[in-house]
Each structure stands twice: as structure tokens, then as C-alpha cells.
Amino acid sequence: MKAEFLPHGKCSFAVEDNIISIDATGPWNLEFFKKMHADLTSIIINDVDYQNFAVLLILRGLPLATKNALDYHVKFVSTGQTKALAIYSSLSESPAIAENIFQKAYYQAGLKSKSFDSPDAAKKWLTSQLT
């Protein structure tokens, strides 16, 4: 029998002009990513143009995920329609590690992504990626 775990980590969402901001505090486990993806799917279907949206990922806390959680996340985002994703990790405990982990993951998923030192610069770039 497989053990069921509670989601570890938390996040909140905001939408502005087809940009979904995900404010996520780690560390994260597989159950967290499953719940986050379910919530994100609902937002994509109901709150943005699903063919023309971008994501701002704001990382906080310890920006680490279990291997199975990160693999699940990469598989999920590789099948999505996101035009671009901006990473803002300055609020996390280890910004350089966060950028390294997530840039690698999004490259593996085939997603256009870039890291930024400010949310405003990230939003400006994301807006330029939308049609």
C-alpha cells in the first residue's frame, strides 16, 4: 500500500493581463505539485487566454523539491501552453540554487524561461512575450 502524504509547501496565485503570478514557498513534495497543478489548470481555463498567457514564478523559503516532485512538474509544464516563464528567486533562502534548479527544469521541459532580479522587470519581459 502506498503512503499518502500531505502537501508540503504553499503557494498563492494572482492574475493580471494574462500573466499568472505563482508565489510559492518551499520546500515542496509531489502532493504539493499535484494540488498546485490542479489549481493552476483551473486558473488557465477560467481566468486567462489559455493560448496566450505567461507565468511569473516567485520563489520563497527553501527552494527545493523532491526528485519525483520535480520530475512530475517538468512533465506537466512540458505539455502546457505557457508562452514564457519568469523566475524571481531573490526572496528565497538560496536564490542561486533556485535559479539553477528551475532554469534546468524548464529547459528540460522546453519552456522559454528567464531569471530576474525584480518582479517588475520580469512582468515587463513576460508582457513582451505575449501576442
Residue 92, SS3 per DSSP: strand
Across the range 66-82, mean pLDDT stands at 96
Say if CB 79 and CB 85 are below 8 A apart: no
Q: Is residue 5 part of a domain?
A: no
Q: Is residue 4 part of a domain?
A: no
Q: What is the pLDDT of residues 10-28, one digit of tens each?
A: 999 999 999 999 999 999 9
If one counts the domains in the chain, the total is 1
Q: What is the pLDDT of residue 3?
A: 64
Q: Is residue 1 part of a domain?
A: no
Q: Is residue 69 part of a domain?
A: yes
Across the range 35-43, mean pLDDT stands at 98
CA distance 71 to 85: 18
Q: Is residue 3 part of a domain?
A: no
Across the range 77-87, mean pLDDT stands at 97
Say if CB 63 and CB 31 are below 8 A apart: no
Q: Is residue 81 part of a domain?
A: yes
Residues facing 114 on adjacent strands: 86
Closest by CA position to 87, among listed 98, 71, 73, 75 = 98
Q: What is the pLDDT of residue 44?
A: 97
Q: Please tell me the pTM assigned to this model.
A: 0.94
Which domain, by its residues, includes 113?
Answer: 10-129
Tell me: pLDDT of 1 over 60. Answer: no
> Can you list the pairs that 5-12 forms with residues at least 24 positions away whose Cβ atoms lie under 8 Å?
5/29, 5/30, 5/31, 6/31, 7/31, 7/32, 7/34, 7/35, 8/32, 9/61, 11/36, 11/39
Q: Is residue 2 part of a domain?
A: no
Q: Is residue 56 part of a domain?
A: yes
% of the chain residues with pLDDT over 90: 94
Domain containing residue 26: CATH number: 3.30.750.24
pLDDT band at 89 (very low <50, low <70, confident <90, very high): very high
Q: What is the pLDDT of residue 2?
A: 64
- Please give the grid coordinates belonging to residue 96: 542561486
